[in-house]
Structure formats: structure tokens, C-alpha cells
Amino acid sequence: MINSFVNASPPWLTVGFYAKYTVKLANFQPIINLENPHDPEFSYCGRFGNGSFLWKVEKIENNIALIKVNFSIVGFDFSTIEAPKVEISRSFHLLVDINSRLILNTTDADPLYFPYWIPIGTRAGEEIFLGYQKLENFWLVGKFYLCGIDIDTGLKRFRGSDLLFLTTENMTKVNKGYLPIFDGFYDRESGLLIALTDTEQLSLRFLNIWITVSDRMVLDRSGIEPVRNVDMSTFPSISISGITAPSEVEVGREFELDLMLFNNGTVNTGNLMVSLYSLNESLLTLSDREALVENISPLENREVKWRLMFQSEGKYLLRLNVLKDNITLLQKELIIKGKHPGFRVALLMAIPIIFILVLISLVLLRRRRKKYV
């Protein structure tokens, strides 16, 4: 029997509640292009990353929770000989129905449930529907089992008999290369997630970052902290529905970067500030770096464009920000390589040589003609 999450929210869920997790040995891959779910384009792959993941309830109103998510991971990019350190640090907001755990930032066509707590009283053998998994383009379902193994966390050591283990699979029984599943360990008494393995689903859905945890993401601490007052009636529900950008461009040649914003909410959203800047190399912006989006209607897409030019060769780490009233709603980073046009450079280098050879040929030809005159 599939648990439809009609149960009420847990009694500990209140404004200011937070849960922070320690991330160990994680791989993370920012996705540039997801047109083909079975063959996505990644900007780079960070490996052996360590960091933290935190979610916090900032407001509850009419059974809807405004939840802020923060995470930061530092790893290594082994695609180059130097294996430089690479870091991802993000924050974003979700609107969650606390009774059903449905994330309201998603649509009926691709729903997702908040996976960081389960209804108290969930039993081994029950199945749950987790939502739509876009990287594999399938519906994800999970089943609970008694855990049987003890897990140490920053709070305490949980005995296996006190835990439920949720293992997930592709509901459509189709696997074509990738399997970004979610396996979680839950405290039976509170319903709180205390550890997970494999894919962190929220960053994949809302930021196009595929984070896979090789070890475990383990609860470090939880509690209640004060939060500022937030007016949820005007809080936007915005996601990035697409980014169009080349993975490689010629230095000195103009190109465009396209961002598509999507209003997942039920009210008009306006006064969004969208900015783009480089975190490392010098970037020439031929259009305004900041764009004001005055209004997006519910379920409407809005395009933002930049005209750019790279001035030197190398990897450019670009960051996109979407803000409202100085609150960061979304952040996304992507890497584009700037390269000198090899053929053009070779041609420019070859022109003097060709010119010299032509002159030599003309001189030799003239001497030969004089010899036979």
C-alpha cells in the first residue's frame, strides 16, 4: 500500500526548526544541459567533496511552510592535471505543504515531496511516492524496511531497531545509464531523516546539481533558532526552467547566454533582480549585468539574456543570481571555456611565412629568367 502522506505534520515542526547535516565524500556535477535526460551535459565534476546541508523553517502560514535550504561542498576537479579545488555554495527557498509534504514549487506534471521527514507512525513494508525524477525521466517510489544497523550522528548514536530504512527505485522499471535514487534513514520516533545515501534530490531538482553521496550525509544537529518575519503572501515561487549557453567560446567573439525563469506559484511575481558575473576571469559584459524582471504571471516563463565576450583563454566560472527584496531565491553556477581560435591563430602565424616564401619564389624566378635571356 502506498502512503499518500495525508498524515498531519510532526509536532516538532515549528517556525525556527532546523536540521543540519554533515556531507562526506560526495561527488557533485552541475548540469548545463538536460535536454536529453540520459545524456546530460555537465560543466565539471567535483569529487571527494565535504561540506554541510541545512534546512530551516522560516514561516508557517495556513499549513504552508517556507523552508530555506543552504548547502556548501568543497571537492576537487580531476579533469585537469592540477586537480584544483572546486566549491559549490547555494541557498534557496521552498514552499511545502506540512500535511502532505508536497513541495508547492513543483507542478502537477512533475511533483516532488519534501524527503526530510516522514509521518510519525510509518511502518516497515509501507511504500511511498517521492515524485518525478527528471535526470532519469521517471517516477520514483520507495519502500520502508527495518534498518538493523546502528548509525552515529552528531546528536547521538541511533540504534538500528529505532530506525526505518527507505530504499527507492525507478517506478517505471526502466534504467538507461543513470539511476539517481534516494535512500534515507529515518528516526521512527520523530520521523526525522538522520542520514541519506546516493542522490540529494532538492539540489538536483531546483539547482540542476547532481550530488551523489558515496559515504553518508548524516545529521549533525537540530533545534530551534529565531527567524526574521517573512510575508508569505508575497513570497515568490520561482525556478530556472532552462539555460542556453555554449560550453566553449572563442576569445574576443561575442556570444549570448539565455536564462529562462518559471513562476511555479499561484500569484504574479515581480521586481526580481537577475544578475550575472564571473567569479574568476575578467568578463566583458556587452549588456547590463543586472536585469529587472517586473512581472511573471503564474505558470509563465520569462527570458533574460546577456551579451558577453571573453578577453582571455581559460575556464570562466559564472554565477547567476535571482533576488527579491535582497533575498536570494536562486543561485546557479556554470563553467564556460574561453579558447583562442586555433585555425585563425595558425592562419595568422602562417601569413608572414607564406609572404616570405612568395617573395623568395619571385626572386628566384626573376634570376632564372635573367639567366636564360
pLDDT in tens, 71-117: 899 998 877 777 788 888 888 888 899 999 998 877 777 789 999 99
Which DSSP symbol is given to 10? Answer: P
Percent share of the chain, pLDDT over 70: 83
- Give the position of cell 526525522: 192
Confidence of residue 159 (pLDDT cuts 50, 70, 90): very high
Confidence of residue 340 (pLDDT cuts 50, 70, 90): confident
Question: Cα–Cα distance between 48 and 33 in angstroms, integer?
Answer: 23
Element (H, E) at 46: strand 46-61
* Mean pLDDT in residue range 348-354: 65
**Average of per-residue pLDDT values in the chain:** 82
Nearest to 110 by CA among 36, 201, 1: 201
218 has a pLDDT exceeding 60:
yes
Q: How far is CA 79 from the centre of its chain?
A: 20
Q: Which of 1-15, 209-223, 346-360 has the lowest mean pLDDT?
A: 346-360
Q: Which of 173-187, 325-339, 348-362 has the lowest mean pLDDT?
A: 348-362
Q: Which residues pair with 225 in a beta bridge?
A: none
4 has a pLDDT exceeding 80:
no
Contact 197, 26 (CB under 8 A): no
186 has a pLDDT exceeding 50:
yes
HSE-CB at 184 with a 13 A cutoff on CA atoms is 23
Q: Say what the pLDDT of residue 2 is.
A: 47
Element (H, E) at 286: none
* Mean pLDDT in residue range 182-190: 93
Question: Cα–Cα distance between 114 and 124 in angstroms, integer?
Answer: 20
Confidence of residue 22 (pLDDT cuts 50, 70, 90): very high
Q: 198-202, 314-318, 327-331, 358-362 — which one is most confidently predicted on average?
A: 198-202
pLDDT in tens, 247-289: 888 898 899 999 888 876 656 788 888 988 887 777 888 888 8
345 has a pLDDT exceeding 70:
no
Grid cell for residue 336 = 564556460
Pairing of strands 327-339, 248-250: parallel
372 has a pLDDT exceeding 60:
no
End-to-end CA distance of the chain: 105
Query: DSSP characters for 213-274?
Result: EEEEEEEEEEEE-------GGG---EEEEEEE--SEEETT--EEEEEEEEE-SSS-B--EEE
* Mean pLDDT in residue range 216-239: 79
298 has a pLDDT exceeding 80:
no
Percent share of the chain, pLDDT over 90: 27
- Give the position of cell 511502518: 123
Q: Say what the pLDDT of residue 115 is.
A: 94
Confidence of residue 204 (pLDDT cuts 50, 70, 90): confident
pLDDT in tens, 117-152: 999 999 999 998 888 877 777 788 889 999 989 999
Q: Which of 25-39, 68-82, 226-240 has the lowest mean pLDDT?
A: 226-240
Contacts of 273 (CB under 8 A, 6+ apart): 290, 291, 292, 293, 321, 322, 323, 324
173 has a pLDDT exceeding 90:
no
Grid cell for residue 324 = 527579491
User: Is the pTM above the cut of 0.95?
Assistant: no
Nearest to 316 by CA among 274, 276, 275, 283: 283
Q: Say what the pLDDT of residue 170 is.
A: 63
Question: Cα–Cα distance between 264 and 269 in angstroms, integer?
Answer: 10
Contact 122, 191 (CB under 8 A): yes
**φ, ψ for residue 39, nearest 5 deg:** -145, 60
Q: Which residues pair with 72 in a beta bridge?
A: 52, 89
Q: Say what the pLDDT of residue 117 is.
A: 96
pLDDT in tens, 36-56: 777 778 888 888 999 999 999
- Give the position of cell 540520459: 38
Q: Which residues pair with 19 in a beta bridge?
A: 55, 222
